[in-house]
Structures are given as C-alpha cells and as structure tokens.
Amino acid sequence: MESVQITENEILKMFQDFNANMRKKTFRTVLRQSSNILRKQAILNLKHYVSNIDRKDKWGNTLRKGIVTKIAKNLKSATVHILANFKLKFFEMGTNVRYNKRIHTIKLKKRRYTGSINATHFFTTAKKQTETTVFNSIRTNLEATIRKINEKHK
C-alpha cells in the first residue's frame, strides 16, 4: 500500500472548501492540541515537586485540574493558565514566612510559625521547555486536522 503525498496547495484548497462551522472547528482543534502540549508539560513538572496532585480538597478540586487551557472566542489565541486552582500560585511563586497571631478570635501570646513554601517555578520552566514545540506543532496539527475533517465530510 503506497502513501499518497498531499501538497500544501491541495490542503489549502480543502480548507477553502470548508463551510464556516468546519473552519471554526479546525482552528479550535488545532489551538487546543497545541496548547495541551504546554499543559501536559506543566503537569509533569508539578509532579516533581508535589507528591500527590490528584488528591481532592474539600470542594473536589485537584491540582491537576487547576492547569487549564482556554480558547478565545475569536479563535485567534489560546491561553494556558494555573489560576483555576488558587493553590498552584503558591507552588509557582512561593510564599513568605507566615505566622498565626490568632486562633479563631483568641489572640495568641506568641506568634505561631506556620511555615513557607519555596518557589518551584514549574509553569515558567514548562513554558521555556515547550515554547518551540508548541509553535512548530501548530502547522502539523493544522494539516492533520484539515485532512481528518475532509475525509469525514466528503
């Protein structure tokens, strides 16, 4: 079985034949696939610093769910951020030394040391590690998505 070579011009022609909904679907798919590369790398980096990222808090949220990709409505950009779970900010940027001065409404005679969190910068290192691969994957993902949608809707 021989593989068929498809040129860029044929791919562009396939894309021009799509209707508006199929074009939106193509862009959304490509942006999501490319931004998920950064998301997965951030999760891997977080695993090195936090022992159990799948443990649920009292609201049912995990640290893994806190790393989120969002596609803009105009389908021109995608963002990956860590603010879906507020605790990830503390692991990324660290905290100062913290003390308790009160327990509920009772004032303590001596401040109680509650610790600090060292900055791990897991997300910034993930951005540096995957920046080139994300932008290089956009083109390959676009071609693959156009082919897939074209074969599905012939």
Summarize pLDDT for 39-87 with one digit per residue, the tens. Answer: 999 999 999 999 899 999 999 999 999 999 999 999 999 999 999 999 9
The C-alpha atoms of residue 33 and residue 24 are separated, in whole angstroms, by 14
pLDDT at residue 1, rounded to an integer: 45
pLDDT, one tens digit per residue, over 112-127 is 999 999 999 999 999 9
> pTM here?
0.84
Percent of the chain with pLDDT strictly greater than 70:
96
Phi and psi angles of residue 132, each rounded to the nearest 5 degrees, phi first? -70, -40
Residues 6+ apart with CB under 8 A from 20: none
Radius of gyration over every alpha carbon of the chain, rounded to an integer in angstroms: 22
Helix (H) or strand (E) holding 66: none
